[in-house]
Amino acid sequence: MTRRMKDRWAAATLCIALAATGTVAGTGTVASAATPSASVSEAAPGAGADLTKLVNPFIGTENEGLDFPAAGAPFGLVQESPLMKSGGGTGCDRESADTVTGFSQTTINGCRFNYLPMMPTTGAVSSTDPAQYASPFSHANETTGPDYYQTKLDKYDVTAALTATARTGWQKYTFPRTSQANVLFNAGAGVSGSEIHVVGDRTIEGWVEDSKKTYFVARLSRPFSSYGTWKGTDRTPGSRESAAKGSNGAWVTFDTTKNDAPVVAKVGLSFTGLAGAHKNLSAETGKFGFDFDAVHKALKRQWNTMLHKAAIGGGSHDQQVAYYTALYHSMVDPNLIGDVDGRYVGADKRTHTADGYTPYSNFSLWDTFRTQNQLLEMLVPEVAHDIDMSILAVAREGGALPRWYLEDQEGNIMTGDPVTPYLVEGWSKGLLTGADAREAYKYLRANATEVPSADVRQNGRAGVAYYAERGYVPYGLNVRSNAECDGSTAGNCCPTKSNDNDCYYGASATLEYAAADASLALMAKGLGHEADAAMFAKRGQSYKNIYDRQTGQFRPRTADDGTWLTPYDPVTSDHGFHEQNASQYQWLVPQDPAGLVGMLGGKAATTDRLNQFFAYDDLLADPAGTARTAWVSDPYDYYGSTKYNPNNEPNLIAPYLYAWTGQPGRTSTVVKAQETLFTNSPGGVPGNDDMGEMSSWYVMSSLGLYPVVSGGNFDVITTPQFPNARVEIGHYGKTQGGTLTISAPGSSMAKRYIASATVNGRAWDKAWVEQADIAHGGHVRFDLSTEPTAWATAAKNVPPSIDTTAAPQHRLSAAVAPGQVVMEPPADGPSQQQIDVTLLATSPHTSRVAVTTKAPKGWTAAPAHATATAASDGLPTQLNDRLRITVPAGTAAGTYTVRVTAKLPGAPAVEKDVTVVVQRAATCAIRTSTSCAVDLKAAYNNDGVATLDAPGQGDFDGTGLSWAADQLPAPGPVTLGGVTYQAPPTGGSSKNFVKSTGQAIALPTGTYRSLHLVGASDNGSTGAASATAVVTYTDGSTATVPLELTGWANRTPDFGNAVSLTTAYQLKAGSGKTDTKASLYETTIPLKAGKQVRSLSLARPSVPAWVAPGSGGLDWQRDSDLAIYAMTLRR
């Protein structure tokens, strides 16, 4: 991990600090992963043990873990957090922080939603800028825990302490004796608008707005002596109210010269209104008065109750701290959003009252459906039930189920369909029953079969129409608004509202849809919807539709013709997979691991592949080192490795797949190595904790239980990290509740292989355990070995697959290349042209594809194989054929069509046309002994140049932007990069660029060494689906060559292109000069020695090279046309 911070104190310092304070005191006290740490008692702790001592909130604050120190209740609306001055403005506390700017009431993963930061100061209130009134502090004076935070503000000699209830934040300030002890309420921080009121001599109230309003009421333990408000930089002493967009706030001042008792502020929050904030404050704090310590003790008891739900014994002190901190992190989010009376603001922005549940929000479902959901179901099923009900409320009020929902709106973050497995899992555990289950299924079915309507914020399954029609989401769809797509798949359109969209990542979306459908099939069957169950189970096998046996990986298929994306690099995967590549996604078939193993060649072949993926031999020699070097490089390095990437969720299933190959001992090796990445250090989470999902993985794996698939009601068993664990299975009706003990005496990296096991006293040879076996508690015991064993290696002991549905299908896709060719009118004899025919066929057994042609009279068009044959066995299999077109002598100039028809029994026939343009060879505009600058006059098809006087004269990119004529070379000879070209005309409406449409460009006949092109792409750089061209030689043979040009507005070249020239500006129709520069780029195509060139066939335009969704003109709303400015052949 390149960003991991080195720890500044040894483990001994931490132990001293813990003994002295009962909490973790400062980031400086965390122990290094490499620091030896003494083992502790192997027994699980008793009920009275204070486990909050073993929580280090600074774990995960570095290395992009995005965790944060805060004092807050489990799943609380309020998370009292110190805010720090940072290079980017304000951030949460971390080891490098040294300046406090305030203490906010709310915070979530990633240090977001830091509402109403309050700051104690002394002296005159002379600035409203947090950077100015901020105070330095020392981590040595900082005390942290899940229930409490304290630090000393050195600038003011003030000690600030924080604690909370579920809906109220508590801050305690110990001021020195002074007549000017202030508390600043920075209402305008990080929000779009705010309003604040000073009420009487003890109350501050108002609201802050950031897409929705958060109302607050702050009451102080003693009267303030003066007050004021600010707006921007203007301060108004004595003012009682202020409202503004931007900087806005209020301050109150106390005189502590005679009474230096601490000032306590308690703040009630609500989304429904000030009345709700008052009600929450009264209900949750009335019995406490202003007794800060009593609130702190109550919160400590609450967190101890939570941490004792999955208590462990044994291991080292650092391992225990890492474990309990992960358990803590798994219970911070989601967060309450409702008032004590059940009122909340729904997705429709209206106020509702929850009936029979407590409303929650902040759902990172793409992450948390994999592990956190199951952990919460096990430990706090009532919370899991309420989260499920809250998700249903989003659909009821907002029109569609959410995916990544924050506060009161969908964020459209991440892709696939995580909400389906999430809710199916709740149904399978008995949390959704009766009318709730029926309502859930209604929304889930709609989510799985329809795109949300245009008036709904959610993108939903944006690619579902293609998935239903083709069995996969193709690569290269135009991602446009619902209105532009008009509800159809015409024109390769995919509807979007904002941000991430499934159609950017068709391959991974296909895998996630299939897994979700398989889970939904279980629910459909359980509710009596047999036809739906069969449909969804069949769709659950769709993962096979994108498996390419040639590369041995899942592979994107193109939108235009359904063949494999070509050329293709599985390592980068051309971003066809979301936040990882084909190597990482190759295991994402949780619904059918048995089918995956068969598809990959059987148990032995799959074991070998898993071994390579995990660098297993290196793991055996150095597990911790391999995990840190072979697996992990950078928290966001998703596309550069073919090895395991434990930074991101789609990988998490991979270690457990050894259970299906009969090698469960190898799961133990991998999991034990992965556990070493979780350490008692600021960088102790391997990358983004993702709202507690990665921490939940660590907890479940440490217990030796892992839920591979949602709705399956079983866990894969692996060796627990600790010798003992006591899990309090949360009570929920008759479905679950009891104490589960897990014993694994001597568990360690060395002693990690399971020799035998018992479950509730019965000998256990299976690599999995059913929910029914542990739902009401019991005892799981493992006897371990230092050597691999035969435990659970028999075929009968592998875990089940929830979807093994036979889904025989007959599908056929086809492509021809080149799609257009140029041939000279034959005079003395026939002329020939070679066409490559690519077939992708799927059938239950052997695919036999008949290829026929229809050509103009007197022509012949003969395939090399009238029937192309290959074993398919239910997987798409590529068959290659070659067509030779013969044009007879005397054929007149003109445009002709040759039709190619491919037929697979049981599948619709596929027709492809080859356009043959019969014309004279092109000529050289400038000829030398070594080169020929091609005359492109007849090929130019776009006026992409305008003038300052007439900026609307041209249109290079289809949006009214053009090149500036005064910035381009004059028509005629021009030397760029040492090559002489013929520059096109730039005046009037003259055409000056060849825009790619899939056409062929005639070339001067001759023998040349290379073809040099100058040009650019008009909407970002050339995309993967249109990154090649075809060179045809006079003997009819062809060669596919790379042809990629950088986007004209890019700042740096791609593909190894060289910059030929850069203009100072572009021109925009209607407005003239822009601030954007534009560049022409050069690329070189090598030609075959000894052959005479005839033509160059361009690809059809497709979406540009991948860019982050939402990048405007570089997005996939429209294709990127390759535009050729000039071309020269060199000998």
DSSP 35-57: S---B--SSPPPTT--GGGG--T
Q: What is the pLDDT of residues 687-707, one digit of tens each?
A: 999 999 999 999 999 999 999
Nearest to 1049 by CA among 1090, 1081, 1095, 1005: 1081
Distance CA 1123, CA 1114 (A): 16
Distance CA 946, CA 987 (A): 8
The confidence score (pLDDT) of residue 14 equals 30
Contact call for residues 249 and 230 (beta carbons, < 8 A): yes
The confidence score (pLDDT) of residue 286 equals 94
The confidence score (pLDDT) of residue 807 equals 87
Residue 95: band (very low, low, confident or very high) from pLDDT cuts 50, 70, 90: confident
The confidence score (pLDDT) of residue 22 equals 39
Mean pLDDT of the chain: 93
Q: φ and ψ at 408, to 5 degrees? A: -130, 25
Contact call for residues 1128 and 961 (beta carbons, < 8 A): no
What mean pLDDT do residues 612-624 have? 96
Nearest to 42 by CA among 1047, 783, 747: 747
Distance CA 29, CA 294 (A): 27
Q: Which residue has the higher pLDDT, 710 or 65?
A: 710
The confidence score (pLDDT) of residue 1113 equals 54
The confidence score (pLDDT) of residue 1105 equals 87
What mean pLDDT do residues 345-373 have? 97
The confidence score (pLDDT) of residue 868 equals 95
Structure tokens at 248: 């806005």
The conformational region for residue 564 under phi > 0 = left, psi -120 to 50 = alpha, else beta, is: beta
What mean pLDDT do residues 1106-1114 have? 62
Residue 65: band (very low, low, confident or very high) from pLDDT cuts 50, 70, 90: confident
Structure tokens at 159: 């000690």
Task: Give the dihedral sign, CA 963/968/972/978.
Answer: negative
What mean pLDDT do residues 573-600 have? 93
Residue 88: band (very low, low, confident or very high) from pLDDT cuts 50, 70, 90: low
The confidence score (pLDDT) of residue 633 equals 72
pTM comes to: 0.94
Residue 380 pLDDT > 80, yes or no? Answer: yes
Tokens 């999902």, residue located: 693
CB count in 10 Å sphere of residue 341: 14
Residue 828: band (very low, low, confident or very high) from pLDDT cuts 50, 70, 90: confident
The confidence score (pLDDT) of residue 36 equals 39
Please report, for the chain, how many H helices and E strands are present, in that order: 22, 65
The confidence score (pLDDT) of residue 1 equals 33
User: What is the DSSP code string of 343-406?
Assistant: EEE-TTSSEEE-SSS--EE-EEHHHHTTTHHHHHHHH-HHHHHHHHHHHHHHHHHHSS--SEEE
What mean pLDDT do residues 1007-1016 have? 97
Residue 844: band (very low, low, confident or very high) from pLDDT cuts 50, 70, 90: very high
The confidence score (pLDDT) of residue 18 equals 32
Residue 639: band (very low, low, confident or very high) from pLDDT cuts 50, 70, 90: confident
Q: CA angle, corner 643, sides to 640 and 644, nearest 5?
A: 110
What mean pLDDT do residues 953-979 have? 96
Which residues are registered as beta bridge partners of 188?
none
Distance CA 688, CA 565 (A): 31
Residue 55: band (very low, low, confident or very high) from pLDDT cuts 50, 70, 90: very high
The confidence score (pLDDT) of residue 634 equals 76
Task: Give the dihedral sign, CA 235/159/83/308.
Answer: negative
What mean pLDDT do residues 756-777 have? 98
Distance CA 316, CA 1031 (A): 66
Residue 28 pLDDT > 90, yes or no? Answer: no
State the burial class of residue 530 (Cβ atoms within 10 Å of its Cβ: 0-12, 13-18, 19+). Answer: exposed
Task: Give the dihedral sign, CA 211/215/220/226.
Answer: positive
Residue 12 pLDDT > 60, yes or no? Answer: no
Residue 452 pLDDT > 80, yes or no? Answer: yes
Nearest to 340 by CA among 272, 294, 287: 272
- From residue 823, alpha-carbon distances to 407, 963, 980, 1079 in Å are 63, 33, 27, 33
Three-class SS of 450-499: CCCCCCCCCCCCCCHHHHHHHCCCCECCEEEEHHHHCCCCHHHEEEECCC
The distance from CA 617 to its chain's CA centroid, rounded to whole angstroms, is 30
Q: Which residue has the higher pLDDT, 211 or 1011?
A: 1011
The confidence score (pLDDT) of residue 475 equals 95
What mean pLDDT do residues 240-249 have? 96
The confidence score (pLDDT) of residue 498 equals 87
Q: Which residue has the higher pLDDT, 356 or 570?
A: 356
What mean pLDDT do residues 69-94 have? 89
The SS3 of residue 9 is: coil
The confidence score (pLDDT) of residue 1108 equals 65
Contact call for residues 954 and 943 (beta carbons, < 8 A): yes
Residue 16 pLDDT > 90, yes or no? Answer: no
The confidence score (pLDDT) of residue 1112 equals 53
Residue 637 pLDDT > 90, yes or no? Answer: no
CA dihedral defined by 77, 81, 84, 89, rounded to 10 degrees? 0
What mean pLDDT do residues 951-958 have? 95
Distance CA 83, CA 770 (A): 45
Structure tokens at 804: 């093994």
Q: What is the pLDDT of residues 164-194, one digit of tens each?
A: 999 999 999 999 999 999 999 999 999 999 9
The confidence score (pLDDT) of residue 914 equals 97
What mean pLDDT do residues 150-166 have? 98
Q: φ and ψ at 635, to 5 degrees? A: -55, -30
What mean pLDDT do residues 979-1000 have? 96
Q: What is the pLDDT of residues 322-355, one digit of tens each?
A: 999 999 999 999 999 999 999 999 999 999 999 9
